[in-house]
């Protein structure tokens, strides 16, 4: 049988906000471009953008400024951000969010006078979070998905990219190998330009906020293709993940706006513990609040459900039900009354700050490769502010779209051929588990990996445990390459879980290796063996790349304080 | 929080293997569930897949009611697997899970959403800005426009409403609840430029709704598509006879009315309608408003059809001084849905001239078919014994008035009859 394949001008992997906006802006710049979006889920239904609750940070008010938003972002990231990327984020957020309304039809919540409402979020010097109720992602992604439908943009649903394709030199990306999930068949997609915008979703931790179909696929693919990645030790744990014993819904979020509005946190001893950790109390940044909860839990001061508790009820039941109806409903489904009682929560793995090293036009380290959204590293430094995540996706989706169109217009060279034999080899690799004799269980193995990461490379880390994790991950991998996948090819969920799991393994390696290389505590990376932030030695970024020998190569570079000095960042008060 | 009780539940799941084909079957599983209040149907499926049968296929993504991937039919009712808890089915009730209705099955509980999105796209569900502008519009949250739209934009396109709708299967051309709901929110959106085109697209569809409220009942986001559809019918009623070419002028007026939302430009009828709509946003009144709208607006729409000239054959073929029954074949608009009709009419050709009288064959009592009884020279109705004279007047029985006469004209020897 000959290999199914197609050629397109622009291949976009992922259909969250970044992927969709890239497609829309590229198309609008040149409607003649052949643009193909591939998504692991149904169109517009996958990814974390749709799951966004709180909203997006954007400067719209004269009393606010891009400088303040930038300083908040750098302070939140504990100074190790890529300042070019952070600056573009805050400056371009303003026109981007306006265009979400004027071009794509979003309608965000309003003030009584009809202007756009902005609410308070943690770590911000101004109330600048634009939102639609407490389930903002639905409005954003529903509207942009419709815009994609409106245009002549091809969408392949339930068609996941499994690996990037490269030329013989390995320096140029020629497209991606896709797996059509419904049929269980592989398709080779070749493109003049490829955008990776799969989103992250650190579900390699046992307690996680993103849905389980998010599995750091993009980061895995980028690493295997030899793309330069940065800041991979920085994993954000969101402080308020709902505790629901035994349910897949466990770890899903109660949004940050609750803390922004004034919700309190209590430990099992009925103590508002945040008072002793940070002057900003519950409105401290996510890294601080998560770590504080985790330290309380480690000290045995956990509540009976195992974590800590959030008290929104003290703000009044009416206030909670009016402003957080989605959160109240989510709690109610599991018997919790958010408006009238405390609800058990725990830190939950939420976001990968690390990712591909790009410039502000989304060019990554290989030719013809662009990256946007959570697959990118550097925008948020060591910790992402609530409301800056979806902001990154839309801003850099827009940047990528414009940049892709520009690239296509100016590109005079001929795209290289995919390396001979590469497609066949990859297909063989991914099909192999279907043919293996019955052995192992990918769900159990994935759980083992998640527990290992949670315990050893989680909210609180130390050198010894992480060394242990290195060998444990290696052992899990050794077992992983032997297990089989049962069932036939069409819509085989176990097979997909296996591919997810392979991506998680690669990313787990990256996180632990870089975390071991930062002997200090900074932002979301907290080491109990180096509990202090060390600005004399810690103002650097970890860069990792897959070397020619297939082994991980790590190097560091000092932070480039291009616009704001370390002193300015330190002095900034939220 | 109430503590759940451990129970072993019987779960029956529809299975279909695309490589085998056929009709599919149900597989039965026993599953011990520790805490039913904390266990969703999605948890049940995930556990069965992990613990008992790894080949089971179902679709999900966000698992928190935001993406609309896990719509299925659970004990006969559509719902999201992630939003339905085992404790919703108390006691030892068996839990039966099957894929959504009206969708082709891909495998087990996974359906092909393609047909749904085709219809969705056909309703022009996308925003088209009226103008290039930099600044977002200033629109008050308590404006009539935004109050009417409310949370209807929160639809997550899960397909539950379409599965629950009895009319979707009945009419191929029916867009169904979710697409019409989205069309409604855009028709109300004063920023949008496609009012006329969109109304034109949904005109036919909006009258296929039979106001059963199934979609409203099952919607996991508590959106009433029934209500949205009734509002579209109301918009369409503003001038139901305008076709594609004529619609723009009037449509524009409605659209601008929206923009003015509550200002002086808004005509009183529209304001009344919008006032009703605002009331309808209240939790209790969706049913009441829907019902009112259904009777008062669907009803009249049936009567106000434009006449169409239907050929009844050659005039010379009709015997003089006689009544001939002719079956007319034509397409009728029911509401805005087109249907093939065969309708008998009674044509009395007088002896002295080419003058005709054409009667509608429906009895004016309850609409039964009357027939010409030549020996008695009467039109007779078999239902309740009504009879009419040759001139159409009532001779006996319950009919309240004479037979309805239909307009006719003769063109090049052909008889044409105006059908409504």
| DSSP per position, A108-175 | --B-TTSSBPEE--TT-SS--EE-STT-HHHHHHHHHHHHHHHTT-EEETTEEEEEEEE-TTSSBEEE
Question: Which pairing describes strands A5-13 and A35-38: parallel, antiparallel, or unpaired?
Answer: parallel
B100/B205 same-domain check? no
The counts of H helices and E strands in chain A are 15, 18
Predicted pLDDT at B279: 39
Q: Looking at per-residue confidence, does B223 or B169 come out higher?
A: B223
Query: pLDDT tens, A191-244?
Result: 999 999 999 999 999 999 999 999 999 999 999 999 999 999 999 999 999 999
B262-287 mean pLDDT: 38
Question: d(Cα A446, Cα A248) in Å, to the nearest integer?
Answer: 14
Interface residue A335 vs chain B (CB under 8 A): yes
Q: Which residue of B has its CA nearest to A214?
A: B61
Question: Which pairing describes strands B71-74 and B25-33: parallel, antiparallel, or unpaired?
Answer: unpaired
Q: What's A42's DSSP letter?
A: S
* Ramachandran quadrant class, A143 (left: phi over 0; alpha: psi -120 to 50; beta: rest): alpha
Q: Which runs of E-coded beta strand occur in A16-126? A: 35-38, 56-57, 118-119
Question: d(Cα B30, Cα B48) in Å, to the nearest integer?
Answer: 9
B196/B125 same-domain check? yes
B179/B321 same-domain check? no
- Closest Cα to residue A264, out of A327, A308, A329, A328? A308
Domain for residue B51, yes or no? Answer: yes
B290/B250 same-domain check? yes
Q: Judge: A51–B34 Cβ closer than 8 Å, yes or no.
A: no
B243-267 mean pLDDT: 37
B67/B170 same-domain check? no
Percentage above 90 pLDDT, chain B: 54
Domain for residue B2, yes or no? Answer: no
B297/B321 same-domain check? no
- Assess whether pLDDT exceeds 60 at residue A140: yes
Which of B88, B111, B134 delimits the end of a domain? B111
Q: Is A120 exposed, middle or buried (0-12, 13-18, 19+ CB in 10 A)?
A: middle
Q: Does residue A238 have an active-site annotation?
A: yes
Work out the minimum CA distance from B4 to partner chain A, whole angstroms. 10
Q: Which residues contact A292 (CB under 8 A, 6 or more apart)?
A: A273, A274, A277, A278, A284
Q: Which helix (H) or strand (E) holds B303?
A: helix B299-303
* Ramachandran quadrant class, B44 (left: phi over 0; alpha: psi -120 to 50; beta: rest): alpha
B84/B182 same-domain check? no
Q: Which residue of B has its CA nearest to A485?
A: B54
Beta bridge partners of A195: A12, A370
Q: What's the CATH number where B104 sits? A: 3.10.20.30
Where in chain A do CATH 1.20.58.100 domains reside?
422-558
Question: d(Cα B370, Cα B360) in Å, to the nearest integer?
Answer: 9
B100/B134 same-domain check? no
Question: Which pairing describes strands A129-130 and A154-156: parallel, antiparallel, or unpaired?
Answer: unpaired
Domain for residue B1, yes or no? Answer: no
Question: d(Cα A519, Cα A534) in Å, to the nearest integer?
Answer: 9
- Domain range for B76: 7-111
Predicted pLDDT at A574: 65
CB nearest B57 (choices: A133, A248, A493): A493
At A289 the three-state DSSP class reads helix
Beta bridge partners of A544: A229, A554
- Assess whether pLDDT exceeds 70 at residue A77: yes
Count the residues in chain B: 420
For CA atoms A107, A112, A114, A119, give the dihedral sign.
Answer: negative
Q: Does residue A259 have an active-site annotation?
A: yes
Query: pLDDT tens, B38-52?
Result: 999 999 999 999 999
- Assess whether pLDDT exceeds 80 at residue A130: yes
Can you say how many angstroms the Cα of residue A251 is from the centroid of all Cα atoms in its chain? Answer: 15
CB crowding A405-434: b at 16 or more within 10 Å, else e = bebbeeeeeebbebbeebbeebbeebeebb
- Assess whether pLDDT exceeds 50 at residue B327: yes
B357/B212 same-domain check? no
- Of the listed ranges A441-450, A540-549, B135-144, B167-176, the one predicted with least confidence: B167-176
- Assess whether pLDDT exceeds 80 at residue B250: no
99-128 in chain B: CB under 8 A from chain A: 106-108, 110, 113, 117, 120-121, 125-128
Q: Judge: B61–A45 Cβ closer than 8 Å, yes or no.
A: yes
Q: Which residues contact A306 (CB under 8 A, 6 or more apart)?
A: A243, A297, A344, A346
- Assess whether pLDDT exceeds 90 at residue B339: no
Q: pLDDT class for B256, splitting at 50, 70, 90?
A: very low
Question: d(Cα A238, Cα A259) in Å, to the nearest integer?
Answer: 12
Q: Which residue of B has its CA nearest to A242?
A: B64
- Of the listed ranges A23-32, B17-26, B325-334, the one predicted with least confidence: B325-334
Can you say how many angstroms the Cα of residue A442 is from the centroid of all Cα atoms in its chain? Answer: 23
Question: d(Cα B139, Cα A112) in Å, to the nearest integer?
Answer: 9
Q: Which residues contact A492 (CB under 8 A, 6 or more apart)?
A: A181, A184, A485, B55, B57
- Closest Cα to residue A436, out of A492, A485, A478? A485
- Closest Cα to residue A445, out of A467, A478, A468? A478
Domain for residue B272, yes or no? Answer: yes
B345-357 mean pLDDT: 85
B119/B174 same-domain check? yes
A160-177 mean pLDDT: 98
- Closest Cα to residue A416, out of A353, A369, A486, A459? A369
Predicted pLDDT at B306: 66
Predicted pLDDT at B352: 73
- Assess whether pLDDT exceeds 50 at residue B276: no
Query: pLDDT tens, A469-526?
Result: 999 999 999 999 999 999 999 999 999 999 999 999 999 999 999 999 999 999 999 9
- Assess whether pLDDT exceeds 50 at residue B2: no
Q: Which residues of B touch A45 (CB under 8 A)?
A: 61-62, 67-69, 156-157
Question: d(Cα A64, Cα A49) in Å, to the nearest integer?
Answer: 25
Question: d(Cα A62, Cα A65) in Å, to the nearest integer?
Answer: 7
- Assess whether pLDDT exceeds 90 at residue B318: no
In angstroms, how far is the first alpha carbon of chain B from the final one?
62
Predicted pLDDT at B338: 73
Residue B15, CA atoms < 13 Å, CB-side half-sphere: 17
Question: d(Cα A395, Cα A96) in Å, to the nearest integer?
Answer: 6
Q: Which residues contact B2 (CB under 8 A, 6 or more apart)?
A: A335, B37
Q: pLDDT class for B336, splitting at 50, 70, 90?
A: low
CB A526 within 8 A of CB A293: no
**What is the maximum span of chain A, computed from C-alpha positions, in angstroms?**
67
* Ramachandran quadrant class, A477 (left: phi over 0; alpha: psi -120 to 50; beta: rest): alpha
Tell me the ipTM for this assembly.
Answer: 0.94
Work out the minimum CA distance from A92 to partner chain B, whole angstroms. 13
- Note the CATH number of domain A422-558: 1.20.58.100
B281/B331 same-domain check? no
Q: Judge: A211–B85 Cβ closer than 8 Å, yes or no.
A: no
Q: Is B363 exposed, middle or buried (0-12, 13-18, 19+ CB in 10 A)?
A: buried
Which of B71, B88, B111 delimits the end of a domain? B111
At A78 the three-state DSSP class reads coil
- Assess whether pLDDT exceeds 60 at residue A414: yes
Distances (CA, A) of A570 to A81, A234, A420, A556: 13, 19, 52, 22
A348-357 mean pLDDT: 98
Q: Which residues of A touch B38 (CB under 8 A)?
A: 244-247, 334-335
Torsion of CA A470, A476, A478, A480, to 10 degrees: -140
CB nearest B66 (choices: A112, A137, A248): A137
Q: Is B268 exposed, middle or buried (0-12, 13-18, 19+ CB in 10 A)?
A: exposed
B52/B107 same-domain check? yes
CB A515 within 8 A of CB A466: yes
Q: What's the CATH number where B358 sits? A: 2.102.10.10
Query: pLDDT tens, A417-431?
Result: 999 999 999 999 999
Q: What is the mean pLDDT of chain A?
A: 96
Q: What's B113's DSSP letter?
A: -
Q: Which fold has domain A239-348?
A: Flavocytochrome C3; Chain A, domain 1 (3.90.700)
- Assess whether pLDDT exceeds 90 at residue A531: yes
Work out the minimum CA distance from B313 to partner chain A, whole angstroms. 47
Which of B303, B322, B352 delimits the end of a domain? B303
Number of domains present in the structure of chain B: 3
For CA atoms A79, A82, A86, A87, give the dihedral sign.
Answer: positive
Q: What's the CATH number where B193 sits? A: 1.10.1060.10
Predicted pLDDT at B275: 39
The DSSP annotation for B29-94 comes to: EEEEES-GGG-BHHHHHHHHHHHT-TT-----SSSSSSS---EEEETTEEEETTT-BGGGS-TT--
Domain for residue B325, yes or no? Answer: yes
Q: Which residues of B touch A103 (CB under 8 A)?
A: 129
């Amino acid at each position: 049988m000959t290999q199914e394949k197609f050629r397109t001008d622009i291949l976009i992997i992922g259909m969250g906000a970044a992927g969709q906006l890239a497609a829309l802006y590229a198309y609008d710049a040149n409607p003649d471009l052949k643009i193909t979006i591939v998504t692991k889920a149904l169109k517009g239904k996958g990814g974390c953008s749709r799951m966004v609750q709180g909203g997006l940070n954007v400067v719209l008010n004269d009393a606010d400024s891009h400088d303040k938003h930038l300083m908040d972002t750098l302070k939140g990231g504990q100074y190790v951000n890529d300042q070019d990327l952070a600056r573009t984020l805050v400056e371009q957020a303003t026109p981007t969010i306006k265009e979400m309304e004027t071009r794509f039809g979003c309608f965000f919540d309003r003030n009584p006078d009809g202007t756009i409402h902005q609410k308070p979020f943690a770590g911000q010097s101004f109330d600048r979070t634009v939102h639609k109720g407490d389930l903002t992602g639905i409005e954003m992604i529903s509207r942009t998905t419709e815009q994609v439908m409106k245009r002549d943009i091809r969408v392949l649903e339930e068609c996941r990219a499994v690996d990037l394709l490269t030329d013989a030199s390995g320096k140029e990306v020629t497209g991606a190998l896709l797996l059509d999930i419904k049929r269980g068949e592989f398709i080779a997609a070749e493109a003049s330009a490829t955008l990776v915008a799969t989103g992250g979703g650190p579900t390699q931790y046992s307690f996680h906020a993103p849905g389980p179909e998010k599995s750091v696929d993009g980061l895995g693919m980028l690493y295997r293709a030899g793309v330069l990645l940065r800041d991979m030790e920085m994993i954000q744990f969101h402080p308020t993940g709902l505790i629901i014993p035994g349910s897949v819904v466990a770890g899903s979020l109660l949004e940050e706006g609750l803390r922004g509005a004034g919700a309190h946190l209590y430990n099992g001893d009925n103590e508002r513990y945040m008072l002793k950790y940070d002057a900003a109390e519950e409105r401290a940044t996510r890294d601080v609040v998560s770590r504080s909860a985790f330290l309380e839990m480690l000290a045995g001061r956990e509540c009976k459900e195992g974590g800590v508790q959030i008290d929104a009820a003290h703000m009044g039941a009416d206030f909670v039900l009016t402003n957080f109806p989605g959160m109240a409903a989510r709690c109610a489904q599991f018997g919790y009354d958010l408006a009238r009682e405390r609800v058990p929560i725990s830190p939950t793995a939420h976001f990968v700050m690390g990712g591909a090293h790009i410039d502000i036009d989304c060019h990554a380290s290989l030719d013809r490769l662009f990256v946007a959204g959570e697959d990118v590293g550097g925008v948020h430094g060591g910790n992402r502010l609530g409301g800056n995540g979806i902001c990154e996706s839309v801003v850099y989706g827009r940047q990528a779209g414009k940049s892709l169109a520009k690239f296509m217009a100016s590109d005079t060279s001929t795209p290289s051929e995919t390396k001979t034999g590469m497609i066949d080899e990859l297909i063989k690799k991914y099909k192999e588990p279907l043919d293996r004799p019955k052995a192992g269980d990918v769900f159990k193995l994935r759980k083992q990996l998640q527990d290992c990461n949670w315990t050893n490379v989680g909210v609180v880390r130390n050198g010894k445990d992480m060394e242990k994790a290195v060998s444990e991950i290696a052992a899990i991998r050794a077992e992983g390459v032997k297990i089989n996948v049962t069932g036939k090819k069409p819509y085989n969920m176990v097979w997909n879980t296996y591919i997810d799991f392979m991506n998680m393994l690669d990313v787990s390696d990256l996180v632990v290796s870089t975390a071991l290389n930062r002997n200090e505590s900074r932002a979301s990376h907290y080491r109990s063996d180096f509990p202090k932030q060390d600005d004399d030695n810690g103002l650097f970024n970890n860069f990792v790349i897959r070397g020619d020998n297939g082994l991980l190569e790590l190097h560091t570079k000092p932070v480039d304080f291009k616009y704001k000095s370390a002193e300015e960042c330190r002095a900034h008060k939220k | 929080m109430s503590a759940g009780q451990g129970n072993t539940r019987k779960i029956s799941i529809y299975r279909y293997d695309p490589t085998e084909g056929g009709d599919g079957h149900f597989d039965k599983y026993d599953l011990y569930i520790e805490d039913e209040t904390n266990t969703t149907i999605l948890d049940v499926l995930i556990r069965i897949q992990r613990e008992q049968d790894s080949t089971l296929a179902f679709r999900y993504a966000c698992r928190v009611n935001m993406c609309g991937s896990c719509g299925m039919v659970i004990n006969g009712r559509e719902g999201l697997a992630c939003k339905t808890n085992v404790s919703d089915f108390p006691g030892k009730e068996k839990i039966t899970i099957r894929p959504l209705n009206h969708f082709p099955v891909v495998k087990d509980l996974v359906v092909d959403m393609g047909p749904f999105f085709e219809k969705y796209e056909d309703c022009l569900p996308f925003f088209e800005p009226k103008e290039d502008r930099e600044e977002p519009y200033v629109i008050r949250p308590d404006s009539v426009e935004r109050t009417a739209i409310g949370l209807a934009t929160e639809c997550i396109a899960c397909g539950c409403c379409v599965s629950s709708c009895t009319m979707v299967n009945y009419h191929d051309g029916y867009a169904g609840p979710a697409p019409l709901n989205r069309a409604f929110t855009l028709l109300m959106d004063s920023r949008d430029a496609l009012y006329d085109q969109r109304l034109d697209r949904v005109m036919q569809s909006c009258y296929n709704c039979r106001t059963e409220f199934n979609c409203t009942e099952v919607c996991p986001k508590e959106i009433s598509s029934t209500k949205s559809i009734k509002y579209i019918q109301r918009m369409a009623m503003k001038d139901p006879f305008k076709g594609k070419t004529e619609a723009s002028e009037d449509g524009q007026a409605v659209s601008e009315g929206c923009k003015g939302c509550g200002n002086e430009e808004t005509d009183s009828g529209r304001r009344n309608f919008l006032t009703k709509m605002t009331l309808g946003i209240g939790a209790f009144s969706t049913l009441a408003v829907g019902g009112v709208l259904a009777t008062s607006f669907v009803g009249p729409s049936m009567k106000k059809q434009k006449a169409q000239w239907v050929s009844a054959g050659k005039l010379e073929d009709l015997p003089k001084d006689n009544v001939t029954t002719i079956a007319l074949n034509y397409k009728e608009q029911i509401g805005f849905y087109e249907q093939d009709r065969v309708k008998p009419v009674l044509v009395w050709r007088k002896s002295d001239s080419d003058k005709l009288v054409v009667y509608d064959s429906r009895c004016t009592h309850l609409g039964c078919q009357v027939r010409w009884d030549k020996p008695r020279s009467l039109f007779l109705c078999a239902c309740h014994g009504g009879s009419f004279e040759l001139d159409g007047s009532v001779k006996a029985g319950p009919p309240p008035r004479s037979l309805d006469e239909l307009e006719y004209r003769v063109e090049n020897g052909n008889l044409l009859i105006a059908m409504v």
